Chain A
Amino acid sequence: MRLAALLALALALPAVAEERVTGFEQMSEDLQAMQNDPVANPGLFWIADGETLWSEDPGTGADSCKGCHGDASDSMAGVAASYPAWDEESGRPVDLAGRINLCRTRHQDAEPFERVSDELLSLAAYLTHQSKGMPITPDDDPRTDPWRERGEDLFARRIGQLNLSCAQCHDRLAGGHLGSALIPQAHPTGYPQYRLEWETMGSLARRFDNCIFGVRAEPYEAGSEDYVSLELYLKSRAAGLTIESPAIRP
């Protein structure tokens, strides 16, 4: 009887995971090896493309990224680890892809990249890769706090025809299974990452789209206030965990 009571209690309580576990730790040894092998991780193709874009003349008479920022391994180490970050000029937090596009329009007189494009994905991956092995350190500007709270609300809000929230799966049922897939705790340590499901590299926004589509709701726009808020919340929830990009995930 006591066991039954305990079980009932366990089911009733929102079982917020006490110990944080990343998707990497939940993968098979084989996939972990694939991620760590510099000749087996296809995400490295996007890193290489990003490095090319970093040094490429934007064709507007302005400097390349490298022309202003120098060697990314120096200037960009740890930068992606604190994104999304506050942008003075627009008075809101922006994600890393948003920052790259602001750089293009403000400093390079160039058109922003399409939000869903290989160029933006590659540059974001290259920059995030410069923080590989470093801990996630959320932007501590207090002006980001209300946005983070908005993200937390979104995470807990039931949406879609299935009337499910992010938290119902990724907090309460994390470690369990959806169909045959393991439900992760949703710590965004590996983005941009190579998903075997996609057979290509993808952004955190693409992952959001997948989940939201999955519960039969309408996805938000990449870079929208909603997605940036959600990312702010997830990054603070994952503070201190190590950046892995380019990660491999099933």
Chain B
Amino acid sequence: MSALVNIPETAAPGEIVDIKVLLQHPMETGFRTGPDGKLVPRNIIHSLRCLYLSEEVFAAELFPAVTANPFFAFTLVAETTGEVEILWADDAGEEQRQSQTLTVG
């Protein structure tokens, strides 16, 4: 599971910053049959969280209706220089994290 994450490198204090995330995942719905005629077990990314300065600023709960290779765009308010972390987890128990420093000044 890799990810493309777009977080600006710098921002002014109080500026509202756009974050974009694209995650590589099949988002298997659990409603689809495989070539053997049996249901393919559900495996979706069920949660996405964005932490900034170690506190959650945005989160999403995903259901099978979210596309394969899910895309998200949202915002946060720049305060002081610190880490922006994106964390996500799927039904198979895989947890991933990607982070970047946002320089504020």
Contacts and interface: CB of A to CB of B under 8 A. Distances in A.
Given A45-B2, A48-B2, A40 B68 contact: no
Interface residues of B, number: 14
A39 interface: yes
B6 A39 contact: yes
A42 B2 contact: no
Contacts of B71: 39-40
B18 to A, nearest CB: 10
Interface string A196-224: 00011000000000000000000000000
Contacts of A45: 2, 4, 24, 69
Interface string B60-89: 000000011101000000000000000000
Given A44-B4, A48-B2, A39 B22 contact: yes
Interface in A37-53: 38-42, 44-45, 48
Contacts of B26: 199-200
A160 B67 CA distance: 33
Nearest to A37: B20
A200 B22 contact: no
Contacts of A44: 4, 22
Given A45-B24, A199-B26, A39 B67 contact: no
Interface in B43-70: 67-69
B4 A199 contact: no
Contacts of A200: 26, 68
B7 to A, nearest CB: 10
Indicate the member of A39, A40, A199, A200 with the most B CB atoms within 10 Å: A39
Contacts of A39: 4-6, 20-22, 71
A39 B8 CA distance: 13
A40 B69 CA distance: 9
B6 A42 contact: no
Given A39-B4, A44-B4, A45-B2, A199 B68 contact: yes
Contacts of A41: 22
Nearest to A34: B71
Contacts of A199: 26-27, 67-69
Contacts of B69: 42, 45, 199
Indicate the member of A40, A41, A42, A199 with the most B CB atoms within 10 Å: A42
A171 to B, nearest CB: 33
Contacts of A48: 2
Contacts of B27: 199
29 contacts: A38-B4, A38-B6, A39-B4, A39-B5, A39-B6, A39-B20, A39-B22, A39-B71, A40-B20, A40-B22, A41-B22, A42-B22, A42-B24, A42-B68, A42-B69, A44-B4, A44-B22, A45-B2, A45-B4, A45-B24, A45-B69, A48-B2, A199-B26, A199-B27, A199-B67, A199-B68, A199-B69, A200-B26, A200-B68
Interface of B: 2, 4-6, 20-22, 24, 26-27, 67-69, 71
Given A41-B22, A45-B4, A199-B69, 13 more contacts: A39-B4, A39-B21, A39-B22, A39-B71, A40-B71, A42-B22, A42-B68, A44-B4, A45-B69, A48-B2, A199-B67, A200-B26, A200-B68
